[in-house]
Amino acid sequence: DSGVTQTPKHLITATGQRVTLRCSPRSGDLSVYWYQQSLDQGLQFLIQYYNGEERAKGNILERFSAQQFPDLHSELNLSSLELGDSALYFCASSVSEGAWGNIQYFGAGTRLSVL
């Protein structure tokens, strides 16, 4: 158990809909990262938050947004869903904001299926 909690584990929805994925980081971790992993693909970095503020942006679509709340949990909002958004979405957390010496601990992921 990494200590990172993601809910829900599975999500099935229809095209055009909007969903929210939730992540609770490890106790004491201030950074939260979101990744997308499509079938047989690598990890695509979406966005990073540190202590409530956006720190880095990757290949995140405009239809996607995220935020980190004062209690440090984070939510990833996906809207106007398309079939191609079906993927495994991982949240990871780390103690600090940089990549130097910073281990990322991953949650179990949310599997999103858009039908």
Partner 1 sequence: GQQVMQIPQYQHVQEGEDFTTYCNSSTTLSNIQWYKQRPGGHPVFLIQLVKSGEVKKQKRLTFQFGEAKKNSSLHITATQTTDVGTYFCAANFGNEKLTFGTGTRLTIIP
70 binds partner 1 (CB under 8 A): no
Question: Given the rule CB under 8 A, which of 13-21, 62-70, 79-87, 101-109 is the region that contacts partner 1?
Answer: 101-109
Regarding 106 and contact with partner 1 (CB under 8 A), the answer is yes
What is the Cα–Cα distance from 96 to 89, expressed in whole angstroms?
21
Please report whether residue 25 would count as binding partner 1 according to CB under 8 A. no
Q: Does 97 bind partner 1 (CB under 8 A)?
A: yes
| DSSP state letters, 54-104 | EEEE-S--TTEEEEE-TTS-EEEEE-S--GGG-EEEEEEEESSSSSTT---
Binding site for partner 1 (CB under 8 A): 2, 35, 40-43, 45, 48, 56, 58, 90, 92, 97-109
